[in-house]
Amino acid sequence: MGDITLHPKELHRLLADPADRYAAPYQRAYAELAVSHRGRPVDEIVPLLRTAADRALLGFSGADLLEQAVAISSGAPYELRVRVATG
């Protein structure tokens, strides 16, 4: 399970908003990779996740990206705990 802390104004970087066609939220990229890269090698998925995280301006650690890549490769669910910082 991964953890990330975001300010409320940054949630759009993580979660897809159907009203915003131009955003590159991480949720959308992750979902697309989960479909297109299931069964693929983890080392092939990690750089794609890093690119998606960088595009969305999210600071996932290398360990988080590795866990996510393993989940995508194996088809296992991945749980991400999101903290919203109000300060």
* 19-44 pLDDT tens trace: 666 567 898 899 999 999 999 999 99
Domain count, the chain: 1
Cα–Cα nearest to 45, from 21, 24, 64, 22: 64
Quick one: which H or E segment has residue 83? Answer: strand 80-84
Q: Which residues of 39-74 are buried (b: 16+ CB within 10 A; e: fewer)?
A: eeebeebbebbeebbeebebebeeebbbbbbebbbe
Rg (CA), the chain: 13
Total-model pTM: 0.85
pLDDT of residue 7: 83
